[in-house]
Amino acid sequence: MATATMKTDYYEVLEVQRTASDAELKTAYRKLAMQYHPDRNPNNPEAEDKFKACSEAYQVLSDPDKRAAYDRYGHAAVGGGGGNPFQGGGSPFQQGDLGDIFGDLFGEMFNMGGQRGGRGSRAQRGRDLKFDMRLEFEEAVFGKEQEITIRRAEVCTDCSGTGSEKGKQPETCQQCGGRGQVRSQQGFFSVARTCPVCSGTGTIVRNPCKTCHGDARLQREHKILVKVPAGVEQDTRIRYSGEGDAGRFGGPSGDFYVQLDVKAHKFFERDGDDLHCVIPVSFPQAALGTELDIQTLEGTEVLKVPEGTQSGKEFKLRGKGVPHLNAHGKGDLIVEVRVQTPGKLTREQKDLMKQLEATMAVENTPHSRGLFSKVKEMFG
């Protein structure tokens, strides 16, 4: 039975924040792609794997629709990946890209004392929040809605998020001139570090708000209706944009993530969107054929077992598995039949078995391993 493998987060692969802009994604991808490109790393399987991973990540995150689905539901929403851009031996780079890559890198490395961008801002993005939700197996299959209460930082209404008393405004930091960074020249390089006076905000609060004590935010309870779609898997992460901690000084709010932990089922085992189960049958049922009542997640289905069924034979009940996430249709229910050998027999049963044995001559001679392999292929 197949076992799911946890894939690395695409943002971690590209070494960017989840709020990265399209330009930041492109720059990060080009930098990594140049570093791990097969032409620069001949006969290096590890570099080739990293090159493919960053290309797969960029292919998903550079597409707005795929990125939105991935942000909300993770790898399950994009089929576990963005496809294979390397079929046919091609390269994901277009003509001129390599020059852009070197341009980006050297532009970052050799600042030569120049200032990139404008003045700094005291605005700070809010922290992301996470909630672990435990689901029953059936809740993951059919979906669920649940209202939860979280504590998060919200903008202080008394100071309107400035951190200063009413009628007062923060002062521009004289150390960094409001940039939030101070620079020092080291040869060809201009090195920037966070301003130690204002801690990177660019401003100084001389008269802190008495309600929030200058933090510009307060901790409050907030209710969120979590909607778990049908078909989610273990470790699925649902993202609610902007529902995390409020930003400071006009910065954007963080996001809120719900991490799903799905309980195992006592009867079914999940493999993607298919379900598997094992049903015991007696030797007479397997030999003569029978009809079995199979309990599915949606009711009872009748399974016809033909005569002469061997132990380990699998039967497929189509459409009785897990709904496809964000798509129509369902997986299948795979039923494996296993013939049980009774551990104890009554005298009458033993006599009947001996009579049956007398009518079924079997030569108990060894078979070649090749024959066993064929039998295994035939009957799973």
CATH number of domain containing 339: 2.60.260.20
Tell me whether residue 248 is in a domain: no
Q: Which residue range is the domain that position 43 belongs to?
A: 1-109
**Count of C-beta atoms within a 10 Å radius of residue 148:** 13
Q: Which of 91, 109, 127 is the last residue of a domain?
A: 109
Question: Are 246 and 302 within 8 A, CB to CB?
Answer: no
User: Whose structure tokens read 């277009």?
Assistant: 94
**Count of C-beta atoms within a 10 Å radius of residue 198:** 24
Find the CATH number of the domain harbouring 71.
1.10.287.110
User: Whose structure tokens read 């199979």?
Assistant: 294
Tell me whether residue 204 is in a domain: no
Tell me whether residue 365 is in a domain: yes
Q: Which of 109, 141, 168 is the last residue of a domain?
A: 109
What pTM was estimated for this model as a whole? Answer: 0.59
DSSP 264: P
Tell me whether residue 196 is in a domain: no
pLDDT tens-digit series, residues 89-135: 334 443 334 444 444 444 344 433 333 333 445 678 899 999 999 99
Tell me whether residue 10 is in a domain: yes
Structure tokens, 119:
């003045």
**Which residues neighbour 162 within 8 Å (Cβ) at sequence distance 6 or greater?**
168, 169, 170, 209, 216, 249
Residue 337 has pLDDT above 60, yes or no: yes
**Which residues neighbour 261 within 8 Å (Cβ) at sequence distance 6 or greater?**
132, 133, 134, 135, 234, 235
Tell me whether residue 239 is in a domain: no
Round to whole Å and give the CA distance between 91 and 83. 14
pLDDT tens-digit series, residues 15-70: 988 888 888 888 889 888 888 887 778 788 888 888 889 989 998 998 888 888 88
Closest CA to 272 of 358, 224, 333, 328: 333
Number of domains in the chain: 2
Region 146-159: mean pLDDT is 93
Q: Which of 109, 127, 156 is the last residue of a domain?
A: 109
Round to whole Å and give the CA distance between 3 and 14. 26
Q: Strands 256-262, 129-135: parallel, antiparallel or unpaired by DSSP? A: parallel
Tell me whether residue 23 is in a domain: yes
Tell me whether residue 7 is in a domain: yes
User: Whose structure tokens read 């309600």?
Assistant: 211
User: Whose structure tokens read 């077992």?
Assistant: 305
